[in-house]
Amino acid sequence: MRKEMPEWLKKQYNRLWVRYKNQAFTFKDVTKELGISRAMTIKTLWELEQRGFLNKERSEIDYRARTYKLISPEDINFAIGLYSLVEKEKLGKQGLIEKFVFVDDSLSYAMTGSHAAYYYHRYMVPPRVLEIKIEPRDEGKWIAFLTDERTRVFTGDIIEARKISNYVKLLHSARPINSIRKKTEEGYYIEKPEFLLMELLERQTQTSIVEAIAIILQEKDKLKWRGSNGLIDLAKESGFSRRLGFLLDAINFESSKSVIEAKIIQDIKSDFRGKSDEIFPRDEIFLSRFLELRNKSMHRALLTTEEIEELTRMKERFEGYRKLSEKWGFQAILPRDFVRKVLEDLGVRLGKK
Amino acid sequence: MLDLERSEASKIEEISLKDLERIDREAKNFGIDLILIGGYAVRAYTGQRSWRFTKDIDFITIKRDLMALRGIFEMLKYGFEQTEFGVKGSKKINRESIELHISVDKVMDWSTNLEYKLPEDLFAKASKVNINASLEENKDFKVSGMVAPVEDVLIMKLMTERARDHFDAIAIILDSFEKVNMQRFWANSRQSNLNQHVKKRLNSLLADLKKGLVKKLWREFTGRIFIREQEVTLKERINKLLEKDPTIAK
């Protein structure tokens, strides 16, 4: 991957940097500022983007509308410095993971999201987007370092129609990166499962809940449950004790045995009192379906017998864990079939429905 | 999938594809016709941008006695378990596993308890399709199999309450709509008494589009944005499907 800039590109970059620094600009701005043709503007922006010296964002409404931000000269120099350390024969051939192994401690990061989850559960294959938690100040360095022919780096939503092998999404970490990560045998850093579980419980999408259940099942004997940075404390700190306790209870309930030690669940339960108006999970699709059902229930008089029957069946699906909901003091709308499917797929023998 | 996972995944994909072909061939020797559904069928009807990696193998058949397949299941190290819906097996490869299911006569859905009865013409309409590997390392694999017609795959995906299946249905509608015989789609939905359910699901997909939930679903499974052009196309096509529902036409 070429990181060095030809003289003409350096000139254009410098002029744009003097004018815009870290501010966003458009295609038209470049044409006007540099006084160049449309074709030359395309070439300039393309050459900068290819090298990772420019961050491009597309509009969600109109895919063609783009804004650009330059990566600072300091961050570019940092990436060029790192590249200069790559052995000549490996230059341009490094895969994404090799880059993470290579960067080692030069930049702090921890892989998170579905890819990190997959590392632990080996169950549901993640999408092509790799999420990494980084220090906010390193954003430009990461874009300049990771971008190459096969990789594009994004700081927001990924709006890209071109076929690219690797999409990387940068996320800012709320905690010091060093405290949340561990090094894998392969030599790259990944979020520790306890912190990752908090991340997944925070997202509470259908995918993240499946991933959380799968990690708990696959790693239950290796997870740090107690003590500082243990799951029980982290959940308490994050306000996710109910969510975690409920999921563990649901796993035990569906398998009709203590897959998770009962004492762990008791300890989580003792961490809070009273009820909450929380609905779990707040997955927007689940939530929308549930609220639809609730609205329909209010107008039962207008429904046919058949519709009432279906409504009842659907409501039962979302309220299958009524007792556990009461125990954990919130409203769980997680369908039982959802939990049972993961358990069954991962070889946990199920109890009767 | 990342480079490192890819090397592991490419091995699994290779094994899964080889096993798929082998089981299909052996089954034929015993006079059992197997038709692919599930992830591999979805792959046959979707473009690369909406592919999701799959390793599990799902077949359907109408032959009730599948004991003849026990030998091949066991030889390929899947084990062999008879279930109320057919047979299943699972093969461990390091920390991962490939799940193999063969359903007989019907496909049951966990989330709704609904069932899709295989239509009589399913085997006649199934077509031999080249199943492409999703990973570049396996691109030279030339595996082919009989895949269920697109209408049946779509109904099976719309039948469930799982978001992952709805994502697959959306991808099929976007990538293979021209292959969908709408008359057959509704006739087969009706035959399993699923037409009302399917109609509701399609309408709820339209409502989800309005609410921005389809965008969220797309982002969740591809990590990418669902662009306006896709939104417009999906809406048009779902409406076309709904217009062809004979109960509405009447």
- At which residue do the structure tokens 């009461």 appear? A326
Q: How are beta strands A166-172 and A129-134 bridged, if at all?
A: parallel
What is the per-residue pLDDT for A91? Answer: 64
- Separation in Å, CA of A4 to nearest CA in chain B: 25
Cβ pair B215, B226 in contact under 8 A: yes
CA-based R_g, chain A, Å: 25
**B144-160 pLDDT per residue, tens:** 889 999 999 999 999 99
* Cβ contact A338–B95 (<8 Å): no
Which chain B residues are closer than 8 Å to A217 by Cβ? none
Structural domain boundaries in chain A:
1-70, 73-191, 194-345
What is the per-residue pLDDT for A353? Answer: 57
Q: Does A298 touch chain B (CB under 8 A)?
A: no
pLDDT band at A88; cut points 50, 70, 90: low
Segment B163-192 shows an average pLDDT of: 95
CATH fold group of domain A1-70: Arc Repressor Mutant, subunit A (1.10.10)
Mutate to test the interface with B, among A171, A295, A337 (most CBs of B within 10 A): A337
Residue B50: count of CB within 10 angstroms of its CB: 21
Q: Which of A293-307, A321-335, B64-78: highest mean pLDDT?
A: A321-335
* Cβ contact B208–A285 (<8 Å): yes
Cβ pair A202, A237 in contact under 8 A: no
pLDDT band at A173; cut points 50, 70, 90: very high
List the single residue in B with minimal CA-CA distance to A316: B112
Partner residue facing B213 (CB), from A125, A284, A341: A284
Q: Report the mean per-residue pLDDT for chain A.
A: 90
Which chain B residues are closer than 8 Å to A284 by Cβ? 213, 216
Segment A117-127 shows an average pLDDT of: 87
Gap between the terminal Cα atoms of chain A: 56
Q: Report the mean per-residue pLDDT for chain B.
A: 87
Segment B183-211 shows an average pLDDT of: 95
Torsion over CA: B178, B114, B162, A282 (sign): positive
What is the rounded CA–CA span in Å between residue B143 and residue B131?
6
Cβ pair A351, A254 in contact under 8 A: yes
Q: What is the ipTM of this complex?
A: 0.79
Contacting A residues, span 89-108, partner chain B, CB-CB under 8 Å:
95-98
Residue B146: count of CB within 10 angstroms of its CB: 18
Residue A245 in this model has a pLDDT that exceeds 90: yes
Torsion over CA: A283, A286, A288, A290 (sign): negative
- Separation in Å, CA of A97 to nearest CA in chain B: 6
Size of interface A-B (CB pairs under 8 A): 98
Q: How are beta strands A181-183 and A331-332 bridged, if at all?
A: unpaired
* Cβ contact A127–B225 (<8 Å): no
List the single residue in B with minimal CA-CA distance to A122: B96
What is the per-residue pLDDT for B248? Answer: 66
- Separation in Å, CA of B124 to nearest CA in chain A: 32
* Cβ contact B161–A317 (<8 Å): yes
Between B85 and A259, residue with greater pLDDT: A259
**B41-88 pLDDT per residue, tens:** 998 898 765 566 778 899 999 877 788 888 888 889 998 888 888 898
Cβ pair A154, A139 in contact under 8 A: no
Q: How are beta strands A331-332 and A279-280 bridged, if at all?
A: parallel
* Cβ contact B5–A118 (<8 Å): yes
* Cβ contact A115–B3 (<8 Å): no
pLDDT band at B249; cut points 50, 70, 90: low
Q: Does A125 touch chain B (CB under 8 A)?
A: yes
Cβ pair A209, A321 in contact under 8 A: no
Residue B1 in this model has a pLDDT that exceeds 60: no
- Separation in Å, CA of A289 to nearest CA in chain B: 9
**B114-152 pLDDT per residue, tens:** 999 999 999 899 998 888 777 666 777 778 889 999 999
Residue B4 in this model has a pLDDT that exceeds 60: no
* Cβ contact B49–A163 (<8 Å): yes
